[in-house]
């Protein structure tokens, strides 16, 4: 069946520490699949199989999930499909801060850690093994190559206000994994960033909307106006007005993405000329809580009361 072949191929690629030429080839395949479209049935089959695998894995290895399932009277086999997600209790911010309970491997197997900013308390930590970091880097590298198959010199102008943010670190790994040249200059003085751009002539920029605004203003003030192929935005909300401004000034296609440290990757992406956010359905299952009454529930603060804080499954 198509979903089994496709899922098997994706898994083999994601877990291989392969040469930089492979993300370029796979990126081309992904681009063609995006143009043709995958049926909802195929996507759901892939999601269902991955969900079952993930549930079995964490139940057998994570103290937190074993307690969570036992407390709810659940076994891994009870989560047989996407509709069964509603059976799993919410996970709160406080739960996630107890990071040792989530570990599925011994601590000496950990290779990377990313944290939230800590603005609402002790930063939440998410750890990765070496293989998991390869999977994440492969995924992002293919996404970059699906959009940008040619020469790749990427300016990474993302904030480094706390040094363990997943955004800048994962982008740098992805560019390197894709066989491109990464320039992780940070997001400090826009004037210095313009100097870096003049030195290395990047054709791709990864940045936040607010810093991209400051960088565009600085470039305009000194008459610096190179043509950029693509600009990838993340970390903040961005308006259509800002997208048009960046596109017109830099002659670039604009991609906007949304994700979080807790889920470990980008959840959505907005393509050039499209206001919709497209879900990352091959790697994440997005659950909408009470969609028919979402506005009312938000006003009543029901969600926070039920989940005991900012909750997710």
Lowest mean pLDDT among 172-186, 239-253, 277-291: 277-291
**pLDDT (mean) for 21-48:** 78
The reported pLDDT for the residue numbered 218 is 97
Give the C-alpha separation, 175 to 181, whole Å: 7
Lowest mean pLDDT among 15-19, 63-67, 205-209: 15-19
Q: What is the pLDDT of residues 119-139, one digit of tens each?
A: 667 888 899 999 888 888 888
Helix (H) or strand (E) holding 113: strand 110-115
The reported pLDDT for the residue numbered 92 is 86
HSE at residue 57, side-chain half, CA atoms within 13 A, is: 10
**pLDDT (mean) for 84-104:** 90
DSSP letter at 312 equals: B
Query: What are the residue ranges spanned by the domains of the chain?
Result: 137-279
Mean pLDDT of the chain: 83
Residue 303 has pLDDT above 70, yes or no: no
282-306 burial string, b = 16+ CB within 10 Å, else e? bbbbeeebeeeeeeebeeeeeeeee
Residue 98 has pLDDT above 80, yes or no: yes
The reported pLDDT for the residue numbered 62 is 95
Helix (H) or strand (E) holding 225: none
Query: How far lies 276's CA from each of 62, 273, 290, in Å?
Result: 36, 9, 21
Task: Specify the CATH superfamily of domain 137-279.
Answer: ANL, N-terminal domain (3.40.50.12780)
The reported pLDDT for the residue numbered 297 is 41
Question: Percent of the chain, pLDDT > 90?
Answer: 43
């Amino acid at each position: 069946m198509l979903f089994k072949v496709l899922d098997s191929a994706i898994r083999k690629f994601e877990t291989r520490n392969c040469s930089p030429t492979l993300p370029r080839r796979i990126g081309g395949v992904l681009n063609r699949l995006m143009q043709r479209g995958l049926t909802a049935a195929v996507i759901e089959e892939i999601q269902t199989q991955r969900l079952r695998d993930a549930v079995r894995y964490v139940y057998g290895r994570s103290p937190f999930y074993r307690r969570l399932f036992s407390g709810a009277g659940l076994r891994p086999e009870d989560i047989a499909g996407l509709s069964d997600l509603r059976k799993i209790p919410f996970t709160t911010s406080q739960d996630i801060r107890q990071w040792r309970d989530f570990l599925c491997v011994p601590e000496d197997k950990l290779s990377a850690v990313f944290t939230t900013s800590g603005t609402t308390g002790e930063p939440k930590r998410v750890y990765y093994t070496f293989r998991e970091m390869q999977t994440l880097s492969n995924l992002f590298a293919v996404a970059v190559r699906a959009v940008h198959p040619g020469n790749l010199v990427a300016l990474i102008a993302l904030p480094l206000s706390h040094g363990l943010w997943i955004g800048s670190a994962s982008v740098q790994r992805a560019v390197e994994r894709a066989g491109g040249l990464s320039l992780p200059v940070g997001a400090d003085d826009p004037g210095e960033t313009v100097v870096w751009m003049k030195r290395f002539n990047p054709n791709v920029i990864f940045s936040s909307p607010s810093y991209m605004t400051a960088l565009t203003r600085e470039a305009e003030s000194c008459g610096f106006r190179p043509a950029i192929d693509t600009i990838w935005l993340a970390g903040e909300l961005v308006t259509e007005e800002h997208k048009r401004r960046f596109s017109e000034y830099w002659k670039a296609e604009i991609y906007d993405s949304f994700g979080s440290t807790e889920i470990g990757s980008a959840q959505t992406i907005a393509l050039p000329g499209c206001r919709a956010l497209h879900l990352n359905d091959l790697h994440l299952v997005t659950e909408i809580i009470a969609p028919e009454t979402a506005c009312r529930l938000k006003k009543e603060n029901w969600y926070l009361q039920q989940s005991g804080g900012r909750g997710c499954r």
